[in-house]
Amino acid sequence: MRSSTPSRYAGLPLGMIALVVIAILLVWFGTLDARHLLRPDEGRYAEISREMFASGDWVTIRYNALKYFEKPPFHMWVTTLAYELFGVGDWQARLCVALSAIVGLGASVLAATRWFGARAGLLTGLALLAAPMWSIAGHFNSLDMTLSGALACVLAFMMLAQHPDASPAARRGWMLACWVAMGVAILTKGLVGIALPGLVLVVYTVLTRDFGLWRRLHLVSGIVAMLVVTVPWFWLISTRNPEFPHFFFIHEHWDRYTSTTHSRTGSPWYFVPLLLLGFLPWLGLTPRMWATVRERAGAVRGAGGKPFQPALMALIWAAAIFVFFSLSGSKLPGYIVPIFPALAMLAGVALDQIDERSWRRQVNAVMVLAVAGLAATPFVATLDRPSNPNEVFRAFSVYTGVAFAVLLGGMALARRLLRSHGLFPSITAFSLAMFLTCTIGLMGHETMGRRASGADMVPAIRAVLKDDMPLYGVRLLDHTLPFYLGHTLTMVEAPDELEFGVQQAPDQWIPTLDGFIARWRDGHPAMGIMSPEVYDQLAARQVPMHVVARDLRRVVVSNFPPPGATAPAQTPEPKPAP
């Protein structure tokens, strides 16, 4: 089913397309430094990479100078390389995810163009750009987007290899690229990098009975290429750290999926609202996306005698990954980010087939959403929470108001362009408005994120902290201050997620609060980070502490009186009984 009025899709001139792409890239990369890092993921992976950068050890991953084997190193390698090239900073820490998202988007456009045409390919890119989950994850320093970018390449390269017009050399080349991308996915987040594509392939071949597809995967040479990418690091780290294989492959894979050992539980429908919000602009296309699959859009007879069905492959990719993580005992929002490139391909084909009347309804629906968002903005300005006082919400409401105003203006422009220039320019304006709305909203989160990061405490702490001075995390693993201070923590009593590390190096932490107090009183200058509750407990025990900086979440103290610090915390001694 194609549009009966293709002239309405007359695309933008090539020069205009180039300008739009340049503008998108400028906004995409230019906003990486607009926010401070959030805990835990952003601070954690920024700090791991900083320690890798400082130590020069790119094999054994460490966090706060302790072995940290929960994830492979690819994301940290790219971030460390960014530090080497551009210095240590917030935008450098996010560069890996930003690049991964753009590479994944580009690969998806390439595959959609090959199977469904150039117009559908461009619409795929616009659909993915406007998907809130993709644009937000592309600016959040986490492994989920790096994995998603690699997996988007796996799907795209495999689809490119299966096109019947591909020459034997091209098919072999694309499949080798697919296997290499799987290797990168494994080096990013472990065996899930091959388990997810394998699951999708099994489901697809069972449903279509196209078992000849397996003969076109270049299994032998592909597996060799994947092993060349992955084995060197796994061999090196296992040789240097014999404890690595059991922790990584059993604890971090089997235990994480089959149990709630990481306390990341959620109901089977945990990801449903995330899917709806993450693909919000395109939910109205769902019937057309399903029709794209049902009508076997793009399907042509393949080399194995059966028609390869790219739309069905995209649907199975999204559905299988969604179900896989929904059944897992460990759930986090970023786990389903890999499904969005496949959904964007289906949306791109649906948009390529949509008529003006249906598209106008789509624009009007989002326009209503924009009006509702603007109407809710004054309410946001009235909110007040212990962790974020009213002045924070008032500042954030300015960003939300601007974001929804941009969305409303974008929808008005999309309506006007639909009348004057046709569908393609209208869809472009719609997608760019949605992308800018998400970008502005994410930038506005700095009003809250800056407080959470502790960035405002850094100057006062740096004025006191010396390079050789211990910095204790007293029952508190702070994920952002160590990065901004360029100084690792020594954990006290509660190792948090560093439990494996302290087991391997028990002399590099203090297991009891009493042991910490004795160390604190030994006369050597030191500083500590703790919660206000722990600070009050220590003060009640008359532990000498000088407050260097504090906020609602943490108190930073020293055991010596630095200039400008408050007097030592004391509690009055009880008077002797008469």
Lowest-confidence segment of 101-105, 197-201, 300-304 by average pLDDT: 300-304
* Same domain, residue pair 326 and 462: no
pLDDT for residue 17:
87
Boundary (domain end) residue, out of 419, 452, 485: 452
**CA pair distance 247, 239, nearest whole angstrom:** 14
* Same domain, residue pair 459 and 364: no
* Same domain, residue pair 403 and 465: no
Boundary (domain end) residue, out of 452, 482, 509: 452
- Number of domain units in the chain: 3
Average pLDDT of the chain is 92
* Same domain, residue pair 146 and 264: yes
Question: Does the structure show a pLDDT above 60 at 573?
Answer: no
Task: Specify the length of the chain in residues.
Answer: 578
Boundary (domain end) residue, out of 452, 486, 507: 452
Question: Does the structure show a pLDDT above 80 at 155?
Answer: yes
pLDDT for residue 315:
98
**Alpha helices, DSSP H only, in 381-497?**
390-420, 423-444, 446-453, 458-462, 481-485
* Same domain, residue pair 373 and 425: yes
Q: For the beta carbon of residue 547, count every other beta carbon within 10 angstroms.
A: 17
pLDDT for residue 253:
72
Question: Does the structure show a pLDDT above 50 at 575?
Answer: no
pLDDT for residue 266:
75
* Same domain, residue pair 248 and 372: no
**Which domain does 509 fall in, by range?**
455-558
pLDDT band at 296 (very low <50, low <70, confident <90, very high): confident
- Residues 6 or more apart in contact with residue 476 via CB below 8 angstroms: 494, 529, 530, 531, 534, 554
Using only C-alpha atoms, the chain has a radius of gyration, in whole angstroms, of 27
Q: Is residue 463 part of a domain?
A: yes
- Residues 6 or more apart in contact with residue 112 via CB below 8 angstroms: 120, 121, 123, 124, 345, 348, 349
* Same domain, residue pair 364 and 512: no
* Same domain, residue pair 313 and 361: no
Q: For the beta carbon of residue 265, count every other beta carbon within 10 angstroms.
A: 12
Q: Is residue 45 part of a domain?
A: no
**CA pair distance 172, 222, nearest whole angstrom:** 9
Q: Is residue 42 part of a domain?
A: no
Question: Does the structure show a pLDDT above 70 at 127?
Answer: yes
Question: What pairs with residue 557 in β-bridges?
Answer: 528, 547
Q: Is residue 573 part of a domain?
A: no
% residues pLDDT > 90 (the chain): 86
pLDDT for residue 192:
95
Joined together, the tokens standing for residue 544 give 């000498």
User: Which tens digit of pLDDT belongs to each residue from 493-521?
Assistant: 999 999 999 999 999 999 999 999 999 99
Report the pLDDT averaged over residues 552-574: 72
* DSSP-based helix, strand, coil % in the chain, nearest 5: 65, 5, 30
pLDDT band at 488 (very low <50, low <70, confident <90, very high): very high
Joined together, the tokens standing for residue 341 give 């490139």
Q: Is residue 151 part of a domain?
A: yes
* Same domain, residue pair 334 and 413: no
* Same domain, residue pair 526 and 425: no
Q: Is residue 170 part of a domain?
A: yes
User: Which tens digit of pLDDT belongs to each residue from 156-171?
Assistant: 999 999 999 999 999 9
Q: Which long-range contacts (CB under 8 A, 24 or more apart) does 228-232 make?
A: 228/183, 229/180, 229/183, 229/184, 229/186, 229/187, 230/183, 230/186, 230/187
User: Which tens digit of pLDDT belongs to each residue from 260-286?
Assistant: 555 556 788 999 999 999 999 999 999
Q: Is residue 140 part of a domain?
A: yes
pLDDT for residue 260:
57
